[in-house]
């Protein structure tokens, strides 16, 4: 549920519109390819987590198997990744609010939800848990409900818009075929599709708190592939079957648009509420994780000491507030560039995610090298394919970066990524030298 709560967000509910427009129905193959890559990343994380359950996850395994520098970079990049994700989520929440209240500016919606979620996180972990439990439940039930309702619409041909083709699976091939833009369209859709899967790797973070990680983690991780098929492939298939893919314009969530177009207004309002909770859920999870990541980094001496401050309830309030204040940049971006905010924020989140996923794969390879062939043969939950899979996933992630560099909307992120890594590496050297002097 934690992984699904982090992954089912704006990337699926809103970003899918961009992916569909870029590729047409063949976008389903893009979701399958990206889903398979992320599944293997989760398996790589799972191999280390089952062998050594630890809540430090990314940073801990990089530190242990790679180097102190890698642990530092991994921890800070994880924090940066979810800052970017939070900004991307908040940059589009105004679109959903405008479905009901068109007069409310987008930046005002973002500002309101930043304050609300920050307040909930400052109250304590119980408040976070209550929010996240219901958010995740609502999203999961809604996606399943949307698929079922969409099937009913398709079977009975329910429509309220005679100008559009009636709901039918034939819509997947009726307008230019299954791949109207060919291989070019499929490749172009890969970067935005990758954004949708960010968060699934959070399963690894739960290892330290799991009652029986050697049993529960493999079960949860292997279940990811079925969730990908149901929640991503299934949902996008239904959307493009209910309404022709060219009419999915991104002005509202495709999940809302399909029922708005067929005249089921009640369902559209319910799904609009769901997509709002999806944004809040991802931001809630990101802020919770980031507050604790900053606390952990500060406790290691890898962040300013003020971030170790806790409230009476044990909440790392300094880390939560710092993360929240930096996320306020999203409000400024939405205010200044409302038309481009989501795409740019999403592109930065994708590059940060690629750095994170790449470090997981490299760390897993170094983990195998550290423990040696004999110990590796005794691992109870191995990454299928070993090093072949590791290099295959790294090559796929490299392809995504190349595609981003070729796209005007993503090119900025390809510049931001290396600059961010350089800042982290320089910061680590400065920190290390100061520690040696002292």
| 79-128 pLDDT per residue, tens | 888 888 887 777 778 888 888 988 888 888 888 988 888 888 888 767 66
pLDDT of the residue at 425:
93
Alpha carbon distance 95, 35 (integer Å): 27
The sign one gets for the Cα dihedral 239, 243, 246, 249 is negative
Alpha carbon distance 89, 282 (integer Å): 7
- At 332, which helix (H) or strand (E)? helix 329-336
Q: What angle do CA 207, 228, 381 make, to 5 degrees?
A: 40
pLDDT tens figures, 54-84: 655 677 788 888 988 998 998 899 888 888 8
pLDDT of the residue at 401:
93
Asked if 354 contacts 397 with a C-beta cutoff of 8 angstroms, the reply is yes
Question: Virtual CA dihedral for 236, 241, 247, 249, nearest 10 degrees?
Answer: -10
pLDDT of the residue at 57:
66
pLDDT of the residue at 313:
77
pLDDT of the residue at 37:
92
The sign one gets for the Cα dihedral 78, 4, 198, 116 is negative
How many other C-beta atoms lie within 10 A of the C-beta of residue 144? 14
Max intra-chain CA distance, the chain: 76
pLDDT of the residue at 259:
75
Asked if 57 contacts 45 with a C-beta cutoff of 8 angstroms, the reply is yes
Nearest to 139 by CA among 284, 275, 14: 275
DSSP string, 186-199: HHHHHHHHHHHTTT
**92: domain range?**
1-437
Q: What is the CATH number of the domain that holds 121?
A: 1.20.1740.10
Say what the pTM is.
0.84
- The residues, ordered by sequence, that sit 6+ positions from 182 with a Cβ below 8 Å of its Cβ are none
How many structural domains compose the chain? Answer: 1
Extract the residue ranges of the chain whose pLDDT is less than 70: 1-7, 9-11, 14, 54-57, 125, 127-129, 161, 202-211, 265, 334-335, 338-342, 438
Nearest to 389 by CA among 28, 47, 20: 47
- Residue 97's alpha-carbon distances to 107, 118, 214, 362, in angstroms, are 11, 19, 43, 41
């Amino acid at each position: 549920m934690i992984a699904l709560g982090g992954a089912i967000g704006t990337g699926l509910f809103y970003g899918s519109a961009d992916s569909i427009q870029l590729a047409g129905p063949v976008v389903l193959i893009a979701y399958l390819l990206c889903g398979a890559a992320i599944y293997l990343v989760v398996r790589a994380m799972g191999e280390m987590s089952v062998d050594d359950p630890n809540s430090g996850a990314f940073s801990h395994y990089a530190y242990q198997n790679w180097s102190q520098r890698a642990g530092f970079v991994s921890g800070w990049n994880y924090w940066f990744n979810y800052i970017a994700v939070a900004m991307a989520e908040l940059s589009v929440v105004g679109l959903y609010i405008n479905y009901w209240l068109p007069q409310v500016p987008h930046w005002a919606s973002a500002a309101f939800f930043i304050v609300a979620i920050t307040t909930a996180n400052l109250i304590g972990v119980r408040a976070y848990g209550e929010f996240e439990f219901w958010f995740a439940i609502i999203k999961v039930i809604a996606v399943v409900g949307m698929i079922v309702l969409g099937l009913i619409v398709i079977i009975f041909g329910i429509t309220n818009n005679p100008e559009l083709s009636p709901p039918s699976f034939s819509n997947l091939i009726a307008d230019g075929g299954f791949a109207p833009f060919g291989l070019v369209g499929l490749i172009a859709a890969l970067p935005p599709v990758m954004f949708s899967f960010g968060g699934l790797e959070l399963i690894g973070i739960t290892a330290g708190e799991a009652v029986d990680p050697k049993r529960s983690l493999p079960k949860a991780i292997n279940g990811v592939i079925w969730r990908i098929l149901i929640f991503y492939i299934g949902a996008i298939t239904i959307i493009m079957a209910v309404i022709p893919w060219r009419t999915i314009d991104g002005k509202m969530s495709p999940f809302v648009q399909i029922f708005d177009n067929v005249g089921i207004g009640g369902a559209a309002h319910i799904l609009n509420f769901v997509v709002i909770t999806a944004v809040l859920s991802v931001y809630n999870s990101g802020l919770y994780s980031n507050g604790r990541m900053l606390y952990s980094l500060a406790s290691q001496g890898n962040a300013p000491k003020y971030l170790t401050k806790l409230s009476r309830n044990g909440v790392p309030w300094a880390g939560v507030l710092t993360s929240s204040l930096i996320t306020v940049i999203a409000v400024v971006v939405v205010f200044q560039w409302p038309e481009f905010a989501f795409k740019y924020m999403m592109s930065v989140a994708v590059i940060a995610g690629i750095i994170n996923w790449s470090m997981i794969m490299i760390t897993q390879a170094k983990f195998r090298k550290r423990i040696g062939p004999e110990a590796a043969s005794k691992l109870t939950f191995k990454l299928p394919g070993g090093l072949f899979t590791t290099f295959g996933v790294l090559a796929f992630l490299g392809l995504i970066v190349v595609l981003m560099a070729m796209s005007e909307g993503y090119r900025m992120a390809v510049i931001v990524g290396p600059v961010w890594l350089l800042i982290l590496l320089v910061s680590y050297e400065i920190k290390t030298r100061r520690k040696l002097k002292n």
